[in-house]
Amino acid sequence: MFHQLQYLAALSFVDKRLDELEEDYGDLPVIVKQLQEKLKTQKAMVEETSALLSEIKQFCASSKITLIELKNKEEKLSKQQFLVRNNKEFDAITKEINYLREEHTRLTDRLRTEAVKEENLIKILDAQQKELAEIEEELAEKQEEMEFVASDQNDELIQLKNKRAQLVSFLNKNSLMQYERIRMFHKDAVVKIIRNSCSGCFSSIPPQKIVEIRNNLDHLFFCESCGRILYPEDMIVEEKKLISV
């Protein structure tokens, strides 16, 4: 029969190792997340530019057809003009021809500005796509690095997680809650009393309290100075003895 304090101390060891493994990743997880965000933004930009560009292309294509149609109409009307029977008809056709010519000029001008826009957008899209490819490449690189670290520690990680689950199952709700609360301030939430001192902050522990701790291993005692959970020097904490993993 083992005690809460023993399970807690073992859990603290397991968590310490898990923290170390997480540190192996360094700032990789943060970088990967940032790159993923950057990729999303860049993709949206590329999509937006592409949509604008295809809109302009469509406009230019249809405008070119319209220009031909305007010219054809004008030619047809010019031929008709020779066949008119009176001035009134002649004037009406002239008016129409003028309108068609104005339309043609207006559309030609518009087409010219749109062509400049198109040219600029093609350059912008090209730069955006290059940057997108760079981000993708960098992200893939970082993800590969992360996978490398993960595969390196995979076996140990599974073992540690199993151990942790077992240890947690032996702890009562209050012990676990206290432990997790202290973990928010101190990664090593459970520490040994070494030579009558807390090994977390080195403040001394009264001998009377040490005796009390030793006799109540299912009760939690906290360092009055740093708040860590204390356990006596001679207590068995090796998880091999505590759990079957």
Q: Residue numbers of the site for Zn ion (CB under 5 A)?
A: 198, 200-201, 223, 225-226
Q: Which is nearer to Zn ion, 8 or 198 (CB)?
A: 198
What is the token pair recorded at 219? 């009760």
Supply the minimum distance, in Å, between the C-beta of residue 186 and Zn ion: 9
Residues 6+ apart with CB under 8 A from 44: none
Q: Is 182 exposed, middle or buried (0-12, 13-18, 19+ CB in 10 A)?
A: buried
3-state class (DSSP) for residue 242? helix
Between 143 and 225, whose beta carbon lies closer to Zn ion?
225
- With respect to Zn ion, which residue has the nearer C-beta, 187 or 240? 187
Kindly list the distances between the CA atom of residue 9 and the CA atoms of 2, 19, 145, 164, 170, in Å, as whole numbers in the listed order: 12, 15, 33, 12, 12
Nearest CA to 114 among 63, 46, 176? Answer: 63
**Residue 147 Cβ vs Zn ion, minimum distance, rounded to whole Å:** 39
What minimum distance in Å lies between the beta carbon of 197 and Zn ion? 8
- Minimum Å gap between C-beta 48 and Zn ion is 57
Residue 193 Cβ vs Zn ion, minimum distance, rounded to whole Å: 9
Cβ nearer to Zn ion, comparing 198 with 220 = 198
- Residue placing its CB nearer to Zn ion in the complex, 92 or 232: 232
Considering beta carbons, is residue 120 or 204 the nearer one to Zn ion?
204
d(CA 211, CA 232) in angstroms, rounded, equals 9
Q: Closest distance between Zn ion and the C-beta of residue 206, in Å?
A: 13
Cα gap 123→67, rounded to integer Å: 27
Q: Which of 228, 70, 48 is nearest to 220 (CA)?
A: 228
